[in-house]
Amino acid sequence: MKSNKPKSGANSKTDIASKEKDSLLASKDTLLLLEQRNAELSLINSVQEAIMAEMDLQGIYDLVGNKIRELFNAQVVGIYTIDTEKSMEYFNYLFEDGKRIFPKPRDLDKIRLLLVENKKLILIDENLLQKVAEITGVTPKAVPGTKMPKSILFVPMTVRGEVRGYVSLQNLDSEHAFNKSEIRLLSTLTNSMSVALENARLFNETEQRNAELAVINSVQQGLVAQMDMQGIYDLVGDRIRTLFNAQVVAMATFNYENNTEEFHYIFEDGKRFSMDSRPIDKIRQRIINTNELLCINENADEVWTQITGEAPTVIPGTQLTKSALYVPMSVGNEVRGYVSLQNLDRENAFSDSDIRLLSTLANSMSVALENARLFSETEQRNAELAVINSVQQGLVAEMDMQGIYDLVGDKIRDLFDAQTTGIVTFDHTKKTENFMYLFEDGGRYFPSPRVYDKVREKVISERKAILLGENAAEAISKINGKPHKPVPGTKAAKSAVFVPMLVGETVLGYITLQNSDKNNAFNNGDMRLLGTLVNS
């Protein structure tokens, strides 16, 4: 019987030849892969060496961006940073078809948000419009001045697990434009750049913080020696003008009793302005309510209108701003005022470091102003105590009733900025007031007793001081429900204070100060001192 079994020797030779061929092909592929990896490694090393020598952030973007343009088949090369808090992306480097483009920052779309959330590269290399529309729910639009690509590759720049930005390659003509080795190489370069950018940021931040610290120390040294309130505003204001890119520097405090803001320092384009107090508007009210800074870097008129519900207004003689920064001056949880920087010519004028430095200076000034206030208050209390002692010594020696009225009345006229000083007693049986002492503009008046009005009834029933800071005559008319008639021969008041004279629960009368020329002529210190004198 004939066997059909092949000869074992021939089969063995064929198998050996086939294995040797496969081995040679594998060795060749390995060699090519090693050569490619060595080339990539050499390239990466050269880029890393250049990056290590570069400590300027924009310099790193430019260096890596230019290198990427040489290496890859991409008409578009972009390097972007991401601000997740503001949900914005910033164009640090963008080339298309050999032209550098400088687009404005823009909101993050769903593709970029996906990159931030997943922290993984995104490759779309076919049916791009359709796939992007599926992800975002809207038809994609190109950056102004650019064309829609056919292939895109986004590689995230990650630092400590946070996506700080990304590098993008885009091909306008071809799908499947980027192969695995290019993706791997771009990923490695992006990682190197992420580390370098973080090092540069920390280096710059350290240098900047040291410079800021020097500024803060110099200001604080000046503040320590300054116990005059206006001197503090001037010292810090002048320093701020030299530090920041702001044509306008302003400082104001809030008077909550009168619901006004009072300006202590205003400079615009090198000119000092003085301005009367004005009502607190909705922008300032927002600062008060939130106790947080307000930075308006873009579309200032639109933001203003959105917050206030009305078109923006400007201080007479000044211009409408394009960038504005308001930093509250706070003591505890109370907002005492604010510092403002404004740029009239350009948007995005104030950086994060500007905001940080101004916030630190505002905090330092708040502390200094509070110290100065306490110092002034202590001095004022000592002066008040000396006044009270001198009055009490006079009262001890005076046993005549009219003599007491005259002694206290004359002393009050010396102390206060009031054209009118009056000491009045009540006859509760007749419901009349009797003028024991009345001076106006240096002239003594002796009015007849008159029936007391609703303002005096309010003093009697509430047993508390009444302060009418603005348009006092109108306020009195409103309380009385009829036009106010001042004492014959005297003028209507713009500011008035009425402090009751109490014995137990009984109101025996009151002392009044009035100013016919100025609103808000009397402050809390005046009220306190007058109250103490009345008690005496």
506 - beta bridge partners?
503
**pTM across the whole model:** 0.42
pLDDT at 166: 94
3-state per-residue secondary structure call for 381-407: HHHHHHHHHHHHHHHHHCCCHHHHHHH
Could you tell me the pLDDT band of residue 32, with boundaries at 50, 70 and 90?
very low
Other residues' Cβ atoms within 10 Å of the Cβ of residue 214: 10
Please spell the DSSP secondary structure of 12-65, one letter per residue: HHHHHHHHHHHHHHHHHHHHHHHHHHHHHHHHHHHHHHHHHT---HHHHHHHHH
- Single-letter amino acid code for the residue at 196: A
Is the model more confident about 98 or about 319?
A: 98
Q: Is the pLDDT of residue 533 over 80?
A: no
Could you tell me the pLDDT band of residue 29, with boundaries at 50, 70 and 90?
very low
Mean pLDDT, the chain, rounded, equals: 79
Percent over 90 (pLDDT), the chain: 20
Q: Is the pLDDT of residue 430 over 70?
A: yes
pLDDT at 61: 82
In this structure, the strands spanning 151-159 and 106-107 are: unpaired
Residue/partner pairs of 145-151 with CB below 8 Å, 24 or more apart: 145/96, 145/101, 145/103, 146/76, 146/96, 146/101, 147/96, 147/172, 148/172, 149/75, 149/76, 150/125, 150/126, 150/174, 150/175, 150/177, 151/124, 151/125, 151/126, 151/175, 151/176, 151/177, 151/178
pLDDT tens readout for residues 48-74: 555 555 556 787 788 888 888 888 878
Q: What is the mean pLDDT of residues 9-19?
A: 57
Collapsing DSSP to helix, strand or coil, 113 comes out as helix
